[in-house]
């Protein structure tokens, strides 16, 4: 491959102006990610170490940490963060691995693939509320079974949701993380040449699952490591899902930090900042532990592979894999369905399986707000995705033309906004932006969204871009096309489908941003998600139902377009549909 590239490069004409901009793009993108996160973390470190002039605090020292250590809930909160994050990540990875090992390449697997976009489009908070209503003692499952099967005419006093071990929280996180890890794994699978490897292994007598885990998994995991780290960091620091499903006596550290951040007593901001710093340290520690775990598993795994076990009895394992994945998909989609029902429900008492009447009152009530916020949400999502896409194409093109590949350090930087807990840098960032004279507004919020959209877009686009056969470029160059023309007339049209998928991922990420929109926008920029979270704070299931459906639609439409548009545009050019 590198040979092809250098041959192509040798034929380049002397570089013109655009080519001088291009090599700077990766640097620009890195600075774009690094500066705000860095500024934000500094803005959080200062109060953690006792410096918060606006609240009249100037006592540099470790007082805030001592104060935090004295909080009696700290051990439980820390344990909850670590356990919920670690276990849910492990389980998600296990489920994805099992499903891929058992079913990839089969007809059943097409159904799994088809479910991915809708599952990814359901916002986290909505999925949490839906799950809570499904499984609570007064929830839909028990309503459907009562009183004829259970004998209950009052909901039993069972601690299911908000259990102290965080089991419901873990279940909710797994249900939402499995689709994301699956999406990433599928992208990686495209490059793993799994089909031929599997054929070889199967012909040596290995069972389907054993063969996949032994031959394909190591290649796939290598590529999805960073996304898995992102999942680990995310599930340790998640706030909205944890408030709904997690225990609250005490809550996880991230939830508690946000609560302290919101305490009327301004001195609590110091403790909140200290908690955010501790949270950051916990995430780094967990990542290090995961990394060590990878080594251990790799060592054990090599021995296991070399031992040569064929593993033939796999029928039950295959069914179990599909069952668990189906359950997690059903939890999300079933939750969304009951929320949809709530959005039109009149009074709905336990143990009635259906509401006593239907009303459109909630939809008419929210229609006006929805119209206004949908427009704002769409503009922010479109612009931030466009910027992110341009940056990503710039980076990838620089990589292709000039060999400026982001190294391991660069990749870490790319993921920085996703790995550093939002609560640890966004408050600091909003202060930093004010200091720089940037007014919170749609533009500032859009810029902040790019921080989170860009890594996902880059991730979604990177692999198809690199997998593109460079010989097409060579042919075009031989026919006299310059590098720009190769990009515009050959590469981008051929990569239309992945470009649109990357855009859809970007839009769904932008639509889901809550803290960046609220904090950077100073509350003046309202999107579907800020409205939804504000309403969710009230816990009104009907309103949550309306907004959950609207949010899901906002994220789902781009995915549908990403699938439909290439078919439409290339309806008469069959060859382009496999670019």
Partner 1 sequence: MRTITGALAALAMGGAAWAEPDPADWDAVTETARGQTVYWNAWGGSPTTNDFIAWVGRRVAEDHGVTLEHVKLSDTASAVSRVLSEKQAGQHAGGAIDLIWINGENFAAMKAADLLFGPWAWELPNWALVDRTKPVDVDFTVPTEGYESPWAAAQVVFMYDTADLPEPPRTVPAIAAWAAETPGRFTYPQPPDFLGSTFLKQALYGVVDDPAPLLDPADNADYDAVTAPLWALLDQLTPNLWRQGRAYPQTGPRQIQLMADGEIDLAISFSPGEASAAIANFELPDTVRTFVPEGGSIGNASFVAIPYNAAAKAGAMVVANFLLSPEAQARALDPQVLGYGTVLDVAGLPDEDRALFDGIDLGIATLSPDELGTALPEPHPSWMERIEADWTARYGVAD
- CB nearer to partner 1: give 108 or 356: 356
| Closest approach of partner 1 to the CB of residue 327, in Å | 24
- CB nearer to partner 1: give 3 or 265: 265
Q: Return d(Cα 285, Cα 354) in angstroms, integer.
A: 47
Site for partner 1 contains 266 (CB under 8 A): yes
Q: Return d(Cα 418, Cα 431) in angstroms, integer.
A: 20
Site for partner 1 contains 191 (CB under 8 A): no
| Closest approach of partner 1 to the CB of residue 91, in Å | 23
Numbers of helices and strands, H then E, in the chain: 27, 2
Site for partner 1 contains 479 (CB under 8 A): no
Give, as ranges, the residues between 47 and 76 that touch partner 1 (CB under 8 A).
Answer: 52-56, 71-73, 76
Site for partner 1 contains 150 (CB under 8 A): no
**Angle, alpha carbons 243-244-249 (nearest 5°):** 55
- CB nearer to partner 1: give 101 or 533: 533
Site for partner 1 contains 190 (CB under 8 A): no
Site for partner 1 contains 540 (CB under 8 A): yes
Binding residue for partner 1 (CB under 8 A) from 17, 58, 148, 264?
A: 264
Helix (H) or strand (E) segment spanning residue 52? strand 51-52
Give, as ranges, the residues between 7 and 36 that touch partner 1 (CB under 8 A).
Answer: none
- Given the DSSP bridges, would you call strands 51-52 and 57-58 parallel, antiparallel or unpaired? antiparallel
Helix (H, G, I), strand (E, B) or coil at 73: coil
Binding residue for partner 1 (CB under 8 A) from 381, 541, 545, 570?
A: 541
Nearest to 489 by CA among 502, 476, 475, 503: 476
Give, as ranges, the residues between 96 and 125 that touch partner 1 (CB under 8 A).
Answer: none
| Closest approach of partner 1 to the CB of residue 471, in Å | 45
Evaluate whether 341 touches 355 at the Cβ level (below 8 Å): yes
Q: Return d(Cα 387, Cα 558) in angstroms, integer.
A: 16
Site for partner 1 contains 348 (CB under 8 A): yes
Q: Return d(Cα 407, Cα 356) in angstroms, integer.
A: 60
| Closest approach of partner 1 to the CB of residue 344, in Å | 11
- CB nearer to partner 1: give 44 or 89: 44
Site for partner 1 contains 347 (CB under 8 A): yes
| Closest approach of partner 1 to the CB of residue 579, in Å | 41
Site for partner 1 contains 151 (CB under 8 A): no
Site for partner 1 contains 247 (CB under 8 A): yes
- CB nearer to partner 1: give 319 or 524: 524
Binding residue for partner 1 (CB under 8 A) from 190, 334, 493, 522?
A: 522
- CB nearer to partner 1: give 277 or 519: 519
Q: Tokens 């009230």 label which residue? A: 538
**Dihedral pair phi/psi, residue 480, rounded to 5°:** 100, 5
Binding residue for partner 1 (CB under 8 A) from 430, 513, 517, 551?
A: 430
Q: Return d(Cα 329, Cα 397) in angstroms, integer.
A: 37
Site for partner 1 contains 360 (CB under 8 A): no
Site for partner 1 contains 368 (CB under 8 A): yes
Q: Return d(Cα 86, Cα 93) in angstroms, integer.
A: 11
Q: Return d(Cα 471, Cα 489) in angstroms, integer.
A: 15
Among the candidate windows 32-40, 227-235, 429-437, 445-453, which touches partner 1 by CB under 8 A? 429-437
Q: Output the DSSP codes for 127-141.
A: HHHHHHHHHSTTSHH
Binding residue for partner 1 (CB under 8 A) from 94, 145, 334, 350?
A: 350
Number of residues this chain uses to bind partner 1 (CB under 8 A): 74
Q: Return d(Cα 40, Cα 131) in angstroms, integer.
A: 34
Binding residue for partner 1 (CB under 8 A) from 81, 162, 252, 551?
A: 162
| Closest approach of partner 1 to the CB of residue 128, in Å | 13
Binding residue for partner 1 (CB under 8 A) from 16, 310, 524, 573?
A: 524
Binding residue for partner 1 (CB under 8 A) from 60, 147, 195, 262?
A: 262
Give, as ranges, the residues between 206 and 245 that touch partner 1 (CB under 8 A).
Answer: 243
Helix (H) or strand (E) segment spanning residue 1? none
For residue 58, list its beta bridge partners.
Answer: 51
**Integer-rounded Cα radius of gyration of the chain:** 25
**Dihedral pair phi/psi, residue 52, rounded to 5°:** -145, 75
447: Cβ contacts below 8 Å, ≥ 6 apart: 384, 520
Site for partner 1 contains 533 (CB under 8 A): yes
315: Cβ contacts below 8 Å, ≥ 6 apart: none
Binding residue for partner 1 (CB under 8 A) from 16, 31, 263, 310?
A: 263
Evaluate whether 449 touches 516 at the Cβ level (below 8 Å): yes
Evaluate whether 554 touches 385 at the Cβ level (below 8 Å): no
**Angle, alpha carbons 101-103-104 (nearest 5°):** 80
| Closest approach of partner 1 to the CB of residue 315, in Å | 40
Site for partner 1 contains 518 (CB under 8 A): yes
């Amino acid at each position: 491959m590198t040979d092809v590239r250098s041959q192509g490069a040798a034929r380049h004409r002397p570089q013109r102006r655009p080519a001088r901009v291009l090599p700077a793009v990766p640097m620009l993108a890195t600075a774009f990610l690094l500066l705000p996160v860095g500024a934000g973390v500094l803005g959080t470190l200062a109060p953690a170490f006792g410096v918060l002039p606006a609240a009249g605090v100037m006592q540099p020292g470790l007082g805030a940490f001592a104060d935090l250590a004295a909080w009696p809930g700290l051990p439980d909160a820390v344990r909850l963060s670590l356990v919920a994050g670690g276990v849910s990540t492990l389980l998600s990875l296990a489920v994805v691995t099992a499903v891929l090992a058992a079913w990839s390449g089969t007809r059943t697997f097409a159904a799994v693939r088809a479910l991915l976009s809708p599952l990814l489009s359901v916002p986290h908070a909505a999925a949490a509320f839906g799950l809570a209503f499904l499984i609570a003692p007064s929830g839909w499952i028990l309503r459907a079974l009562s009183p004829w099967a259970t004998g209950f005419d009052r909901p039993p006093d069972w601690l299911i949701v908000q259990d102290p071990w965080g089991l419901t929280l873990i279940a909710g996180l797994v249900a939402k993380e499995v689709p994301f890890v699956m999406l990433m794994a599928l992208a990686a699978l495209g490059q793993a040449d799994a089909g031929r490897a599997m054929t070889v292994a199967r012909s040596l007598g290995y069972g389907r699952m054993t063969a996949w885990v032994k031959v394909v998994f190591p290649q796939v995991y290598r590529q999805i490591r960073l996304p898995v780290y992102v999942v680990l960091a995310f599930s340790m620091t998640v706030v909205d899902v944890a408030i709904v499903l997690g225990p609250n006596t005490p809550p996880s550290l991230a939830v508690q930090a946000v609560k302290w951040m919101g305490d009327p007593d301004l001195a609590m901001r110091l403790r909140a900042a200290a908690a955010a710093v501790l949270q950051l340290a916990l995430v780094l520690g967990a990542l290090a532990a995961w990394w060590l775990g990878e080594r251990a598993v790799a060592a054990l795994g090599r021995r296991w592979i070399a031992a040569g076990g064929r593993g033939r009895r796999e029928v039950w394992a295959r069914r179990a894999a599909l069952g668990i994945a189906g359950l997690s998909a059903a939890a999300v989609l079933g939750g969304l369905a009951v929320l949809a029902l709530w959005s039109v429900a009149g009074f709905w008492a336990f143990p009635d399986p259906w509401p006593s009447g239907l009303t459109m009152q909630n939809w008419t009530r929210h229609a006006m707000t929805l119209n206004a916020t949908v427009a704002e949400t769409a503009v922010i999502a479109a612009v931030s995705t466009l910027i992110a896409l341009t940056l990503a194409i710039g980076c990838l093109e620089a990589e292709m033309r000039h060999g400026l590949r982001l190294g391991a350090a660069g990749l870490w930087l790319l993921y920085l906004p996703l790995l550093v807990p939002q609560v640890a840098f966004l408050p600091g960032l909003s202060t930093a932006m004010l200091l720089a004279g940037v007014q919170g507004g749609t533009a500032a919020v859009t810029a902040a969204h790019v921080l989170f959209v860009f890594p996902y877009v880059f991730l979604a686009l990177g692999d198809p871009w690199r997998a593109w056969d460079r010989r097409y470029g060579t042919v075009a160059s031989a026919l006299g096309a310059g590098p720009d023309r190769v990009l515009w007339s050959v590469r981008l049209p051929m990569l239309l489908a992945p470009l649109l998928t990357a855009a859809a991922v970007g839009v769904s990420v932008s639509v889901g941003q809550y803290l960046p929109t609220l904090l950077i926008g100073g509350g003046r920029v309202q999107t579907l998600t800020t409205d939804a979270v504000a309403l969710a704070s009230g816990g009104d299931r009907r309103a949550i139902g309306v907004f959950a459906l609207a949010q899901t639609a906002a994220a789902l439409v781009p995915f549908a377009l990403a699938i439909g548009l290439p078919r439409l545009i290339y309806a008469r050019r069959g060859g382009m549909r496999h670019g």
